[in-house]
């Protein structure tokens, strides 16, 4: 335990300096200076050792925090991608033009979420590569690449789905327009026929 070692070391150094002070009393001035210099040198070395250990400990704690954040963020991003993939892959057919228009609005909104999420993925990838450089753990690279590729595939899926449903809405609108046009034409023909029949009926009388 680092705290125990530090406490023990400080205690021993204090004891050594106390003994050194006692010995200095019965030692020549030159010998006393040499003794104090030795004690000071030992104390400096000990403090340098403590500082080095402290730096290593802080770096280790920082790395552990980064590892924990990496794992949490990886799970979070993977879950987010999984939810969006499910939405875009599980699109049931609609029965009316109004439903299709509502659906395309929802799909467009979800796609915009994906576009905006790109910055989150970029930040995660950059931070993860920094962690790889610090830790030299190359096994992280495939995980980073996998998430990046998954996001890009989701980006394409959302774009294709959006285009598909825009096409469905356009086709349905075209059908409605043609239906209206034909209905109007048929109605006009029926009216003309009725008028023609009425004329013939009048003539026969």
Each residue's pLDDT tens digit, 142-160: 999 999 999 999 999 999 9
Per the structure, the complete domain to which residue 15 belongs is given by: 2-204
pLDDT bracket for residue 48 (50, 70, 90):
confident
Helix (H) or strand (E) segment spanning residue 141: helix 140-204
39: nearest Cα among 7, 15, 64, 69: 15
Backbone angles phi, psi at 93, to 5 degrees: -70, 150
Domain count, the chain: 1
What is the per-residue pLDDT for 162? Answer: 96
Give the domain CATH number at 52.
1.20.58.60
**Whole-number average pLDDT of the chain:** 88
**Other Cβ atoms closer than 10 A to 158:** 22
Cβ neighbours of residue 46 closer than 8 Å, sequence gap 6 or more: 9, 13
């Amino acid at each position: 335990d680092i705290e125990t070692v530090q406490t023990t070391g400080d205690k021993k150094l204090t004891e050594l300096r106390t003994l050194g002070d006692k010995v200095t009393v019965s030692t020549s001035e030159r010998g006393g200076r040499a003794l104090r210099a030795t004690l000071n040198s030992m104390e400096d070395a000990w403090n340098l050792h403590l500082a080095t250990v402290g730096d290593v400990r802080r770096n280790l704690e920082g790395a552990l925090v980064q590892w924990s954040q990496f794992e949490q963020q990886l799970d979070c991003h993977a879950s987010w991608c999984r939810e969006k993939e499910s939405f875009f892959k599980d699109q049931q057919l609609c029965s009316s033009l109004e439903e299709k228009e509502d659906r395309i609005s929802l799909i467009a909104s979800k796609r915009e979420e994906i576009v905006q999420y790109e910055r989150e993925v970029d930040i995660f990838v950059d931070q993860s590569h920094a962690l790889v450089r610090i830790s030299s753990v190359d096994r992280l690279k495939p995980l980073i690449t996998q998430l990046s590729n998954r996001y890009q595939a989701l980006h394409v899926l959302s774009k294709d789905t959006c285009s598909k449903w825009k096409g469905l809405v356009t086709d349905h609108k075209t059908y409605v327009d043609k239906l209206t046009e034909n209905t109007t034409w048929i109605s006009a023909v029926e009216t003309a026929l009725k008028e023609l029949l009425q004329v013939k009926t009048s003539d026969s009388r």
